[in-house]
Structure 1
Amino acid sequence: MEYILLILLFVSIELLYFKIAEACHIIDKPNTRSSHTAVTLRGGGIIFPIATFIAFFMGYVSWPLTAAVVLVGLVSFIDDMIPLPQLPRFLAHLIAVGLVFFELNLFYQPLWILPILLVLMIGWVNAFNFMDGINGITVLYAMAALLSFSFLPIHSAHLPLLLTMGLACIAFGIFNVRNKAKTFAGDVGSISMALFLGYFMIKTIFVTGQVGYILFFSVYGIDAVVTIVSRLMKKENIFQPHRSHLYQYLANEMGHYQIVVAFIYAVLQLIINGLVVYMDARGELSLSFVLMILVVLTLLYILIRSFVHRKMILRKS
């Protein structure tokens, strides 16, 4: 009954937000780099930091993680309405990651670990945000991650929190997982969700002692990294909007349904996550296995990307 009330509450909050967004003109107008063709409400992902805040009052989540998610959500929401300079956004991310480290007691780890984790967390948050480019991809991928973390016994105490965030994803997905979305997540949604998932990734690795769980983010990670490298080789500004990710090629240039592409990304990640859990249960999640999977996935990604790119060229010629 509690979770039924929560999903009803989250849907109601989304509907209320739509009224506010329409009144305040918080919208995404399509341009040459957009994957949508109609004016769409932006910021529906505000439900994610709100859900975290509600979970805090229900006793499901600590204050440092709540403060971290709400902080990046608030700054990102302001940025969605009035573009902010990079400095306040970076400072918000830095403080939020610091709160995550505090919650996980990482300041007691060897000092050399912290800069590495900081770079990885900031990189992950931005990569997750960059990947938010077509209907459904952010929420479906997030649900795949939440489901995977929920399956691990080490997170049994966090199940109410993970379920609460999953319900927030369902509420948002009702309006986003469509061929013509009612709303987009906006930076407020993608960045707050990225930080939330990043917390569980770091916790999983440190509690299990298995770095192999980094594969839980491998689909997004490979697409983001290879695309960034490709753009750098072309001497493009990687901070400018673009349509160079494989999922964008598939949905925009090749004409595949956005929801189908989003489901493929989420299901592929779920399959990989299942393999990781299985190998860990067998005691075979070794570093060499993890590296082999990353190399194989990266090579497959590059081959598919090259094939799709050639087809795009042929279509234009």
Structure 2
Amino acid sequence: MLILLELAYFRVADRFNIIDKPNLRSSHKTIVLRGGGIVFLFAAWLYAAFFGLTYPWFIIGLSLVGLISFIDDIHSLPDSVRLVVQFTAIFLMFYQFGILNLQDWWMVLIALIVCVGIINAYNFMDGINGITGGYSIAVLVPLIYLNGIYDFISQPFLYTVGISLMVFCFFNFRKKAKCFAGDVGSISIAFILLFALGLLILKTQDFSYIVFLAVYGADTILTICHRIQLHENLGEAHRKHAYQIMANELKIPHTTVSSSYMAIQLLISAGLIYLPINHYLYLGIIIVALTTAYLLFMKKNYHLHEEYLKSKLLQS
């Protein structure tokens, strides 16, 4: 059903010209259908239809944030509109968690800001073929494994999400992608994974499981810090992420870069699960290791991006 729905969406996207055109900041050179990640939203709706409305407030929040992102894919919306909907959706997720109370309002507020930041960071990382689908599978696999131990979420829900990721990867994880995730895809899958990860953290009372997002987190946060250092407008599109420099300046195939991010995250997650080490010590070691790797990579290769920008300015 998900395959059929995805194919039906392709016809709609082609009919209404929902496409992604390459520009100076893009990592692709041809026009590609946008919004193929709507299959993640379809997956959540199908799960609710077949297995019951187990998580009603989460589904409502996901629908809100997914649909507003889809509208943004078609016609650009003001940041304020998207942020209001995203905060509302995260608030509904927290209500589903059962963690809303006046006594801890300040903790809830901080958590709201952090979670909105995470789903937008996930969106920032959606820039090359395969990276959103592949990395999301790398996050989902340990969640499925741990759910067999802690039973913190519906296993059929995780399997349904996994099937939607495989469907999307079939069309996106390739040299010439049939479609891109679009904001609807990257924001929706981030919201879904954040929900599952949140339930795991609440069940185990172990925040160190945030390491399941470590690779994306390091690339996003350190790139933002780099752009602040360069006095750039953070709202403008760019291609300064480490994965973008690998794909664009170093000419490493998109699928290779995506597979590398996927493999590194899987290894990090496996280390947390299997190594006999304090989880928070392990989290600290991973943060230091990824930060060091990022800084060394940029020191060696960032000049290639500067040369690219200079060449484009000369051409214009």
User: In 2, distance between residues paired with 1:145 and 1:195?
Assistant: 13
1:35 aligned partner, one-letter code: S
Inter-partner Cα distance in structure 1 for 2:165 and 2:228:
33
1:222 touches 1:298 (CA, 8 Å); kept in 2? yes
Deviation at 1:15, TM superposition (A): 0.8
Given candidates 84, 101, 118, the residue that maps to 1:124 is 118
Q: Does 1:147 align with 2:145?
A: no
Cα distance in 1 for partners of 2:280, 2:162 equals 31
Aligned partners of 2:46 and 2:13: how far apart in 1?
21
Residue deviations 1:191-234, cap 9 Å, x none?
01111111122221121111111110000000000000100111
| TM-superposed deviation, 1:157 | 4.8
Taking the aligned partners of 2:294 and 2:202, their CA distance within structure 1 comes to 29
Question: d(CA) in 2 for partners of 1:155 and 1:170?
Answer: 23
Shift of 1:156: 6.4
> Aligned-pair RMSD on alpha carbons?
1.8
**Which digits, 9 at most, give the CA deviation of each residue in 1:213-262, with x for residues without a partner?**
11100000000000001001111111111100000000011101000000
Q: 1:189 to 1:312 in 2, by over 3 A?
A: closer
2:301 alignment partner in structure 1:
308
CA–CA separation in structure 2 for the residues paired with 1:67 and 1:285: 37
What is the alpha-carbon distance in structure 2 between the residues aligned to residue 111 and residue 76 of structure 1? Answer: 28
Partner SS for 1:160 = helix
Q: Confirm whether residue 180 of structure 1 aligns to residue 176 of structure 2.
A: yes
**Equivalent pair of 2:136/2:189 in contact (CA under 8 Å):** yes
- State the match for 1:261 in structure 2: 257
- Offset of 1:286 from its aligned partner? 3.9
User: Paired residue for 1:56?
Assistant: 48
For 2:155 and 2:4, how far apart are their aligned partners in 1?
Answer: 23
- AA at the equivalent of 2:100: F
Per the TM alignment, residue 314 of structure 1 is displaced from its structure 2 partner at its CA by: 8.2
Deviations 1:132-167 (A, max 9, x none): 000000000111111110010224652110110110
Displacement of 1:83 after TM fit? 0.6
Q: Which runs of 5+ in 1 are unaligned?
A: 1-8
Could you say which residue in structure 1 is the equivalent of 2:39? 47
3-state SS, counterpart of residue 105 of structure 2: coil
Do the aligned partners of 2:126 and 2:132 also contact (CA within 8 Å) in 1?
yes
Verify the 8 A CA contact 1:149 1:155 in the aligned structure 2.
no
Q: Are residues 1:163 and 2:156 paired?
A: no
CA distance in 1, matches of 2:106, 2:285: 26
Does 1:69 find its partner at 2:62? yes
* Corresponding residue of 2:215: 219
1:29 to 10, 21, 31: 21
Q: Is the 8 A contact 1:212 1:285 kept in 2?
A: no
Question: In the TM superposition, what whole-angstrom CA distance separates every residue of 1:267-305 from its partner, at most 9, and x where no partner exists?
Answer: 1000000001114xx4x3343332222112211221122
Give the Cα–Cα distance (whole angstroms) in 1 for the partners of residues 279 and 153 of structure 2.
27
TM (norm. structure 2) is: 0.92
SS of the equivalent of 1:110 reads: helix
Note the residue ranges of structure 2 that are not aligned, 5 or more in a row.
312-316
Contact 2:34–2:181 (Cα < 8 Å) also in 1: yes
Matched residue count: 306
Contact 1:13–1:47 (Cα < 8 Å) also in 2? yes
Deviation at 1:175, TM superposition (A): 0.7
Give secondary structure in 2 for the equivalent of 1:204. helix
The amino acid across from 1:182 in the alignment is K
Aligned to 1:240, which of 229, 236, 240? Answer: 236
Deviation of the 1:36 alpha carbon: 0.8
**What percentage of aligned pairs have identical amino acids?**
38
Q: Provide the residue aligned with 1:290 in structure 2.
A: 283
CA distance in 1, matches of 2:307, 2:185: 37
Listed as ranges, the matches of 1:62-101 within 5 Å are: 62-101=55-94
State the TM-score, normalized to the length of structure 1.
0.92
Contact 2:152–2:199 at 8 Å: present in 1 too?
Answer: no
